[in-house]
Chain A
Amino acid sequence: MANERVICSGCSLLCDDIIIKSDGLYIDEVIGACLKGKERFDQATAKNRILNPLIKKDGELKKVTFDEALEKTLTIIKNSSKPLLYGFSTVNCEAQLKGIELASLINGFIDSNSIICQGKVLNTAKETGLSLTTIAEGINKADLLILWGANAAESIPRLLNKVLFSRGKFRMTGREIKTLIIIDPVKTASFGVMGVRDIALQIETAKDIDLIRVLKEYCCKADGIPDAGVAGIDKDDLKRVLLHLTGTENGIIFIGQGLLKSQNGDNVIKELLELVQLINVKQEKGRISVIMLGGHYNMLGFDHVALSNYGKNHSLQFSNHQLVETPDTIITKIEKDDFDCSIIVGTDPISHFPTQLSKKLMSKPLILIDNKQTATSYVADVIIPSSITGIENGGMVYRIDHIPLNLKKIINPPNNVFSDEEIIKKIIESLE
């Protein structure tokens, strides 16, 4: 395979324009991918790659055969009455579906990383509605881009290149007619792309909710903006932001991690989505949409797979192989110690979760399906190595704008390791 364009699975932008030079065994050159994407392709031969199944014996991880690791996995599952399945945002949709099937078979509880990230926006949208758009619309038609609590330049390195600096299909100019507004308490790297017409708002920490409320109040009025400004933003800037919000033909708000935490006990996302709906109802000639910025390349996939197959996008609890109602999430389950073993797929909760949760998680048997060493791999009782999706196996994934894409296999996995989907399938078959 020479000079083929492939999709990068380095982050949720899933850039589909990466040129790869490969002899079918190794990837020799990666052209067009950012550093984060290059590192993703390098993962195939990385030093921290897990290539052999491992089982913890006398406190130490020892190499074993796949069958031995599978056997140990089955023993842990069979001795468990409240298994917990978590992760699934860095695997393809096929593996996500198998994961939910496994949860159903073993009467477990399954959740994805989305519940502490983009899923929060989707859940809020059930009340408020959600106006979505695509990256292509951003490239071709957007005239206003707002990064709200989102340091796109670092989390999704090529996003601004694509939506802000591209010229688009229907015109010769690009950057010149696109206004960028950045709302963030910290002056991030994203501020570095601002031009003279753009608006940089360094908002006071955790005051986004106050700004949104003022915008909601005044977006339908011609004047009357408070003289004192709000949240450290002065009257003139407020006025400019309002003019852009209510005058845009195709505006996109990128919601970042900075907005996901509640402020004063209130849901910031809810207020923001309500503001968007309010403006869209009033707007005669334009529309504002939102795109949630999440890191893992198929975080949205889990929400889609779970919703379309089971009618619920997250936190699925099975009992008697049936989906049952539960107010719990992965966080409350661990907090309450309401589990007796965990199956972690493609994520590293031990380093991502607060210490008290990590401690509880590692106090019970932990099965890990992943391809790299992490804090979680050091505490796991069984590790089954998987191939790298988007490089060593293909499959369907969802981009940040909810567009499904098909990843291709580029090279063969080393040591003939199985894909996440194959591993979960083997566990299911052995249990049945």
Chain B
Amino acid sequence: MAFALDLLQGKVKVDDCTPLLEPKYKKDYDTLKDLLGAEEGKEKELRIDVDNDLCDGCGICVTICPVNARYCPPSLSGKAPDYPPEKHQLFQVKGGKCELLAIEYCRRIEAQGRERECRVCETYCPREAIKIDYV
């Protein structure tokens, strides 16, 4: 999983995975090369998009994001975090819509190991309004 993530983020290349170079995995190797294309090896940037048309401000992302949980105590009991936002706070709901505040503290950038694979905001948004991507 960690390799796949690093691959997507452009930190390693397909060729860095030695078993993939074996002839029996040639098909998988070619498919991956195709998928990654010219972008391979280039550092990709994390993007978290919140679709404002879909979002109804339920605040689930605010509560479930582990970074918010750590730095914004009210969110532990499902309450709106204090305002103005704490500098690490990733999401807030303002004017009935979710706003992404500080992507640089997202676990996909900051954390190590398995924690780096966090995707809970995207997974649990009932409106499918959050999309995590690398561009």
Q: Which residues of A contact B (CB under 8 A)?
A: 3, 15, 17-19, 29-39, 139-140, 153-154, 157-158, 160-163, 165-169, 174-175, 189-190, 192-193, 195
Q: Is the CB of A161 within 8 A of B96?
A: no
With contacts A31-B83, A161-B78, A167-B76 taken as known, whether A193 is within 8 angstroms of B96 at the C-beta atoms is no
| Contact A193 to B124, CB < 8 A, known contacts A161-B59, A161-B63 | yes
Q: Is the CB of A37 within 8 A of B63?
A: no
For the complex formed, measure the closest distance between the CB of A147 and the CB atoms of chain B, giving whole angstroms: 12
Q: Please give, as numbers and ranges, the residues of chain A lying within 8 Å of B94 by CB-CB distance.
A: 29-31
A-B contact pairs, 11 of them (CB 8 A): A3-B83, A15-B80, A17-B74, A31-B80, A33-B80, A38-B57, A153-B126, A162-B78, A192-B126, A192-B127, A193-B124
Q: Which residues of B contact A190 (CB under 8 A)?
A: 126
Cβ–Cβ contact B95 & A29, under 8 A: yes
CB-CB under 8 A from B81, the residues of chain A are 32
**Residue of B78, B79, B83 contacting most chain A CB atoms (<10 Å):** B78
**Contacts A165-B60, A166-B63, A167-B69 hold; do A35 and B97 have CB atoms under 8 A apart?**
yes
Q: Does B86 contact A (CB under 8 A)?
A: no
Q: Mark B81-107, 1 if CB is under 8 A from A, else 0.
A: 111000000001111110000000000
Contact with B95, one of A30, A158, A161 (Cβ below 8 angstroms)? A30
Known A-B contacts A157-B56, A165-B124; A34 and B78 likewise in contact (beta carbons under 8 Å): no
Question: Is B125 interfacial (CB-CB < 8 Å)?
Answer: yes
Binding site for A on B (CB under 8 A): 55-60, 62-64, 69, 74-83, 92-97, 123-128
Decide: A34 near B56, CB < 8 A? Known: A19-B83, A192-B126.
Answer: yes
Complex CA–CA separation, A153 to B56 (angstroms): 9
The answer to whether B58 touches A157, judged by C-beta atoms less than 8 angstroms apart, is yes
A31-B83, A190-B126, A193-B60 given; name 15 further pairs at CB < 8 Å.
Answer: A19-B80, A30-B95, A31-B94, A32-B83, A35-B55, A38-B57, A139-B78, A153-B58, A153-B126, A161-B60, A162-B63, A163-B78, A165-B78, A192-B125, A193-B126
B97 and A17 form a contact (CB under 8 A): no
Please tell me if the beta carbons of B60 and A160 are within 8 angstroms of each other in the complex.
yes
Residues in chain B near residue A33, CB distance under 8 A: 57, 80, 93, 96
Give the 6 A-B residue pairs with the shortest CB-CB distance, closest first: A32-B80, A38-B96, A166-B78, A162-B78, A35-B96, A192-B126
Q: With A and B bound together, what is the CA distance between A122 and B80 in angstroms?
A: 32
Set of chain B residues within 8 Å of A35, measured between Cβ atoms? 55-57, 96-97
CA gap between A431 and B94 in the complex, in Å: 47
Query: Once the chains are docked, how many angstroms separate the CA of A279 from the CA of B63?
Result: 32
Given contacts A166-B78, A167-B69, contact A158 B96 (CB under 8 A): no
Residues of A within 8 A of B77 (CB): 139-140, 162, 166-169
Q: B82 to chain A: which residues have CB within 8 Å?
A: 19
The minimal Cβ–Cβ distance linking B117 to chain A, given in whole angstroms, is 15
- Rounded to whole Å, the gap between the CB of B97 and the closest CB of chain A is 7
CA distance A34 to B50 in the complex (A): 15
Task: Closest A residue to B59 by CB, please name it.
Answer: A161
Query: In the assembled complex, how far is the CB of residue A196 from the closest CB belonging to chain B, in whole angstroms?
Result: 10
Report Cα–Cα, A33/B83, bound state, in Å: 13
Per the bound structure, the CA–CA distance linking A140 and B76 in Å amounts to 10
